[in-house]
Structure 1
Amino acid sequence: MNNITAILVDDEISNLKGLQKKLENLFPEIHILGAYQKPEEAILAIEKEEVHILFLDIQMPRINGFELLSKLNRVNFQVIFVTAYSEYAIDAFKKSAIDYVLKPVDNDDLLVAVNKALEVIKLKKESASNLKLVNLLEENISTNNKLIIPTQKGLSFIPQEEVLHLEGYEGYTKIHIINGVTIMSSYNLGKFEKLLSSKFFKCHKSHIINIEKVRHFENEGYVVLDNETRVPISKTNKKAFLSMFS
């Protein structure tokens, strides 16, 4: 993984030099932006630089590790606490640390902690990259009338005329296709609602249907699609739905 940066903070210079040497030997791909004994200087550097991992001592004079984090405008990086006091471990995790290592720092413990942080950073980068890709694709292939569906395996490109029905489910969306296949996406229903053509109608807070695939309307409050699926239609949307056919 390239372009990973780190900042080290510890009031004892021997600890800083020791940790820096271990990181350079074990993770040469990590670029250390700075090693700071004074928390005040570290805060200025963290606010200025793009930091991926912060190695932070807890017990420091004037400003301890927890106080340092509270003084930052944002904590958008991984934190690994480095401490001589194991009783701080629980508090460290409560502060959203990715991990902690005890002094004197053991190579194996450091490997585990840093690899955890790198994995989280990798996932964040992939997520951001996928989002940019989806947005770019939405701009460039919208004229092809295809629905772009992010899934666990990648991206699916489905012609909108093949979509029968979209169903919101616990923050996710199930997309039901005419061939009987159902695709699960991490996008919520509201996101898809913005991407669909005028051929789709939100008949219920959890359901969007393809108007061209409607076979029947049932007075008790359901529409039946080409595949015989019964989809509920709310009372507030019933009038708008029927007006499209009058």
Structure 2
Amino acid sequence: MSKISAILIDDEITNLKGLKQKLGKLFPEIQVVHTFQKPEDAIKGLQETQPDLVFLDIEMPRISGFDVLAKLEKIEFQVIFVTAYSEYAVEAFKQNAVDYILKPIDDEDLIVAVEKAVKIVQEKKDFNTNSKLVNLLTNTLSNNKKIIVPTAKGLSFIPQEEVLHLEGYEGYTKIHLTNLTTIISSYNLGRFEKLLSNIFFKCHKSHIVNLEKVRHFENEGYLLLQNDQRVPISRTNKKAFLALFK
């Protein structure tokens, strides 16, 4: 597992040292890059360094943990609130915290909260890595006129001429091929729209067609493909579609 960067924020030095020690013992993959006692310093530090994970005390002098987050323009890290008062729990979750733990910190509570946060961080990193890989491969294979389809089993490399149309379905995408088979991709239709070449046309919010496979335009709002499949075309996209053939 890759290292996960963390920042600890608490106005009491003993709490910072204790939490850092517990993390080092229980989660060696977590690297504490900064600790802050003053919330003003923490705000500046978070603006300059976006870690993967932040442990944030709620009750601090002058500025609360909630106010620290409110002063940040960008929050891309996961937050675990640390507090001595359980009544802050509801407000903590309103602030989109992964979890909150009570002082004095119990090892079991810490493990549950951190494992939840680490899972989210790792999934985000895996997703970003996969996206970069797909974009790189897309650029590399563009001259070969192939599209890359991320699936549950890996990556499929499909020649563009074999794709009839793409259909968005409950957050997934169905890739309809000329051999009448279908591939289900974990990418949504919007992500494919960014990866496809200009021979593909988004005719409907849920459909992208290969223009080379369109055989007929029906006035009532459908495109007929070479396999006799009818794909809806929205009213707003009709003009743009017809303009392609002027």
Q: Judge same fold: TM > 0.5, yes or no.
A: yes
Distance, in Å, in 1 between the alignment partners of 2:241 and 2:96 is 48
> Is it true that 1:30 corresponds to 2:2 in the alignment?
no
> Is it true that 1:98 corresponds to 2:98 in the alignment?
yes
Length, aligned pairs only: 244
Q: By how many angstroms is 1:204 displaced? A: 3.9
Q: By how many angstroms is 1:237 displaced? A: 2.5
Q: Secondary structure at the match of 1:186?
A: coil
Q: Secondary structure at the match of 2:101?
A: strand
Instruction: Report the equivalent of 2:21.
Output: 21
Q: Secondary structure at the match of 1:76?
A: coil
TM-score by length of 2: 0.85
The 5 A counterparts of 1:87-236 are: 87-169=87-169, 172-179=172-179, 180-189=181-190, 191-192=192-193, 195-198=196-199, 200-214=200-214, 218=218, 220-234=220-234
Q: Which runs of 5+ in 1 are unaligned?
A: none
CA contact (8 A) 2:215 2:223 kept: yes
Distance, in Å, in 1 between the alignment partners of 2:194 and 2:46 is 40
CA contact (8 A) 2:172 2:184 kept: no
- Identity among equivalent pairs (%): 58
Supply the AA of the counterpart residue of 1:139: N
CA contact (8 A) 1:172 1:189 kept: no
Q: Which runs of 5+ in 2 are unaligned?
A: none
Distance, in Å, in 2 between the alignment partners of 1:241 and 1:16 is 65
Distance, in Å, in 2 between the alignment partners of 1:67 and 1:116 is 24
Deviations 1:19-74 (A, max 9, x none): 12111111122221233222122222222334221111111111111111112232
Instruction: Report the equivalent of 1:49.
Output: 49
TM-score by length of 1: 0.85
Q: Secondary structure at the match of 2:90?
A: helix
Structure (1 or 2) with the larger CA radius of gyration: 1
Distance, in Å, in 2 between the alignment partners of 1:190 and 1:132 is 12
Change (3 A) 1:13 1:223: closer
Supply the AA of the counterpart residue of 2:47: E
CA contact (8 A) 1:150 1:187 kept: no
Q: By how many angstroms is 1:13 displaced? A: 2.3
Q: Secondary structure at the match of 2:123?
A: helix
Deviations 1:72-99 (A, max 9, x none): 2322111111111111111111101111
Distance, in Å, in 2 between the alignment partners of 1:242 and 1:72 is 46
Distance, in Å, in 1 between the alignment partners of 2:72 and 2:212 is 54
Deviations 1:185-235 (A, max 9, x none): 42324742762343x444444333334434555564434334332223456
Distance, in Å, in 2 between the alignment partners of 1:156 and 1:139 is 15
CA contact (8 A) 1:174 1:185 kept: no
CA contact (8 A) 1:9 1:16 kept: yes
Distance, in Å, in 1 between the alignment partners of 2:233 and 2:81 is 53
CA contact (8 A) 1:171 1:189 kept: no
Instruction: Report the equivalent of 1:73.
Output: 73
Distance, in Å, in 2 between the alignment partners of 1:239 and 1:87 is 56
Distance, in Å, in 1 between the alignment partners of 2:90 and 2:240 is 56
Instruction: Report the equivalent of 1:11.
Output: 11
